[in-house]
Amino acid sequence: MTIRQEANPLLGTWDTPFEAPPFERIAPEHFRPAFEAAIASHRAEIDAVRDAEGEPTFENVVVAMERSGALLRRVAAVFFNLSGAHTNPELQAIEREIAPVLSRHWSGIYLDEALFAKIETLHARREALGLDDESERLLDRYRKGFRRAGAHLGQAERERLTAIGQRLAELGAAFSQNVLADESGYALMLDGEADLAGLPDFLRKGAARAAAGRGAEGAHAITLSRSLVEPFLQFSARRDLRERAFAAWAKRGEGGGETDNVGVIAETLALRAERAAILGFESFAHFKLDDTMAKTPEAVRELLERVWRPARARAAQEREALAALAREEGANEAIAAHDWRYYSAKERRRAHDLDEALIKPYFQLDNMIDAAFHVAERLFGLQFKERRDVPVHHPDVRTFEVSDADGRHVGLFYGDYFARPSKRSGAWASSYRSQRNLDSVVRPIIVNVMNFSQAPDGEPTLLSFDDARTLFHEFGHALHGLLSDVTYPTLAGTSVSRDFVELPSQLYEHWLGRPEVLERFALHAETGEPMPADLRDRLVAARNFNQGFATVEYCASAFVDLDMHLAAGDAARDPMAFERDTLSRIGMPEEIVMRHRSPHFLHIFSGDGYSAGYYSYLWSETLDADAFAAFEETGDPFDPEVAERLRRFILSAGDLRDPAEAYIAFRGRLPDAGPLLAKRGFA
C-alpha cells in the first residue's frame, strides 16, 4: 500500500505540544514508506556533501553531515522506542526487515571512500582550521568513526564489512524478539491457596492483575516480569513452584524451537570476530574497548578480578548462613539457585528485622517519581509540570514538561513505568529527540521505560527498594539527556563511551537512601506516615546485605561477555559449553546463576551496544562511589558548587572531551577502586 507523504504523520509537520510524536495518528503501515523516504533524503544529503566541488571545509563537510538525516533520526526514534516499549507483530516484522536496510545505509556512508578522503584531509589540516574545542572534538570523532567502520580499507574488505553489518542487524532483531516471545508467552498459573502459600498481599494482587491481563479473571499468574518473578522467588513457600518459575526465567531464549537464541549467539560471535580481524584487531573485545575509558581487556579483567575474589568469598559466607537457616526450618536439601532468594529474604528479616511486605507500602510509585524530581530540583533547579495534552504511546505513560529555575524550557520527559506483554523486560532510558544548538536551540524529549507490576485500579503501585533504586537509576540517564547543552547532535547527551554513560545513572541512586529524601517521600500507602527512623536506619544499614550474591551474579555475566568476545571463534562453536567453561574457570558457585545468561543477554546480543562492555556498570561504579564522596566531603549531599561542577562537566557536556578528562575536570583527579569496594562492603 502506498501512502502519500502528506498523509503520513511521520513525514509531515508535528503540530503537537513541543513537537512531540503524534502517536494517535501513527500506525504500523506508516513506517515502511517513512523509512524509505527518510533514508533516500539522508542519502541525497550525504551525496551532496561528498560530491560538492571545491576545497573541503569543516562547514561544508562535518557541519553539513551534522545537519543531515533529521528526518531519519525522527522516524527511527519513534520506531525503535515503540519496538521496545509497545510492540506488536506488525512492528516486529518491520523491525526484522528494516534493521539490515539501516545497517546497509549507515555502512554506505561510513565506508564511502570519497567522503572519508574529505574527513582525512580536514583532520590532517586541523591545526590550521581555527576550530574551537567542541568542533575539534567532533572532527576527531568523525575520523575515528570512519576508521572504525573500515573506510580506510580496500573495496573487498569494505564490501564484506557491509555484509557483516547487515547480518548482525538481522541477528540482533531476532535475538530481542525471541526473548520477548519467551517472556510474554510464559505464565505460571497458581491454582488455589496452596499455590499462593507465603505470598504477601501485594504480590497476590500483582499476580491477579497479571492473570486478568491474560483473560483469566479471578486467577493468579506469575509472569517473567522481574517485578513479579523476583518477589515470587522471595516469598513462595512452594519450592516446586519456585523451581519452575526460576527455570523459566533462567532459560529464556534457550528452549529450542523458533525462539531459541543459541544459534543466533554463535553466528553473532563469529561475525563479530571476523569484523574485528578485518579491522586489524586481535579480538572483538580489543576492537570495542579501544574506544572506551578502559581501553584494553586487561584493564577490564583487572577490575573484575579485584572485585570477584572478595565477592565470591562473601557469597560463600552468605550460602552457609542460608543453609543453616534452611536446616533450622527442617529443609535437608542443599541450597539451590531457586532457593537463594527465598532464604535470603528470611535471613534479611532475621538479621535486620526487614520484611519486603513491611517496606513496600512506604515506596509508592508516585512518591518515588516525586522524589526523583525533588532531588533534581535541589541539585539543578529543575521544575517538573505534568502535561496531559501531549500524545503518548500507551495510556499508562505520563509526560512532564521540564523547566529550569528561571522557567526556561529544558525538555520533555516521558515516564512509562508498568510491565505489559508488548514491552521487553528490563528498564532503560531513551530519547525521541536529542538536544542540539546547531542553527537553532533544540531541546530533548527523553523517555524512561520500566516494568513495575501495576496495582489494581484505585490502589497505589508499590515498589521494592530495588525497584525505587531502578527508577532513580534510569532518571539519572534521563537527566544526562535533559541537561545536555552542546552544539552538535553527535556529541549530545548520552553519546559518551559505554563505560562512562552509567556514571550519571548510578550516581543518582545515592540520593534515594538519603534520610532527608526518605523522610519526605517514603510515606506509608495507608496511613500517610513517614517511614519510622529505626526502619529507615535498618534499611540503609542493610544496603550491603546479600552483596556477595549480587556481585557474583553480575561479575559472572561480565566475565562471560568479556571471554566470549576475546575468544569469539571458540565461543561460536558451542556458546553454551563456552559459558559453562568460563564459569568453571572463575569458580562460579553452583547455587548462583548469572544475572543474564547468554541466550537472553539483551545487553550484548540484541545489538552491540554493551558487547564486551557489560563490565561498564562496575567501571562506572568506581566513578560514582568517588563522585558521591565529593558531595559527602562537603557535609552537604546537595552542595551547590559540587552540583554545578557535575552539571557542567558531566551532565551537560555530552562527549565534548575524553571521559577521563571530563571526570578530572569534575573531581580534580581520577578515582581508584577503593570507594567501590567500600560501597559494596568488601573493604
- Please tell me the predicted confidence (pLDDT) of residue 2: 44
pLDDT average, residue stretch 664-671: 94
- Based on the residue annotation, tell me whether 474 is a catalytic residue of this protein: yes
pLDDT tens, position by position, 1-30: 444 556 899 999 999 999 999 999 999 999
**Which of the listed CATH numbers 1.20.1050.40, 3.40.50.10860, 3.30.70.2740, 3.30.360.10 matches domain 5-110+112-149?**
1.20.1050.40
Q: Which cell goes with 658? A: 575524553
3 state DSSP class of 412: strand
Q: Looking up cell 560538492, which residue turns up?
A: 52
Tell me if 294 sits within 8 A of 307, measured CB to CB: no
Long-range (24+ apart) CB contacts under 8 A made by 660-664 are 660/293, 662/500, 663/500, 663/503, 663/623, 663/627
Tell me if 508 sits within 8 A of 481, measured CB to CB: no
Q: What is the pTM of this model?
A: 0.94
Continuous segment of H or E residues that includes residue 445: strand 445-452
Residue 540: CA count within 13 A, CB half-sphere: 18
Long-range (24+ apart) CB contacts under 8 A made by 135-138 are 135/58, 135/62, 135/487, 135/488, 137/491, 137/655, 137/656, 137/657, 138/62, 138/66, 138/488, 138/490, 138/491
- Please tell me the predicted confidence (pLDDT) of residue 3: 47
Q: Looking up cell 574545542, which residue turns up?
A: 133
pLDDT tens, position by position, 435-445: 999 999 999 99
Cα of 313 vs its chain's centroid, Å: 29
Residues 6+ apart with CB under 8 A from 121: 56
pLDDT average, residue stretch 499-518: 96
Q: Which cell goes with 342? A: 527465598
DSSP class of residue 410 equals: E
- Please tell me the predicted confidence (pLDDT) of residue 681: 87
CA angle 134, 446, 5 (to 5 degrees): 95
The full set of domain ranges for the chain reads 5-110+112-149, 187-251
Q: What is the overall mean pLDDT for the chain?
A: 96
- Please tell me the predicted confidence (pLDDT) of residue 6: 61
- Please tell me the predicted confidence (pLDDT) of residue 469: 97
pLDDT tens, position by position, 97-142: 999 999 999 999 999 999 999 999 999 999 999 999 999 999 999 9
Picking from 622, 621, 613, the residue whose alpha carbon sits closest to that of residue 498 is 613
pLDDT tens, position by position, 598-651: 999 999 999 998 999 999 999 999 999 999 999 999 999 999 999 999 999 999
Torsion angle of alpha carbons 544, 549, 553, 554, nearest 10°?
10
Determine what percent of the chain is predicted with pLDDT higher than 90.
93
pLDDT average, residue stretch 250-261: 95
- Would you place residue 399 in the very low, low, confident or very high pLDDT band (cuts 50, 70, 90)? very high
Tell me if 449 sits within 8 A of 392, measured CB to CB: no
pLDDT higher than 90, residue 678: no
pLDDT average, residue stretch 328-337: 93
Tell me if 481 sits within 8 A of 429, measured CB to CB: yes
Tell me if 116 sits within 8 A of 183, measured CB to CB: no
pLDDT average, residue stretch 654-677: 92
pLDDT tens, position by position, 436-484: 999 999 999 999 999 999 999 999 999 999 999 999 999 999 999 999 9
Instruction: Say how many residues make up the chain.
Output: 683
Catalytic-role residue among 183, 318, 474, 509: 474
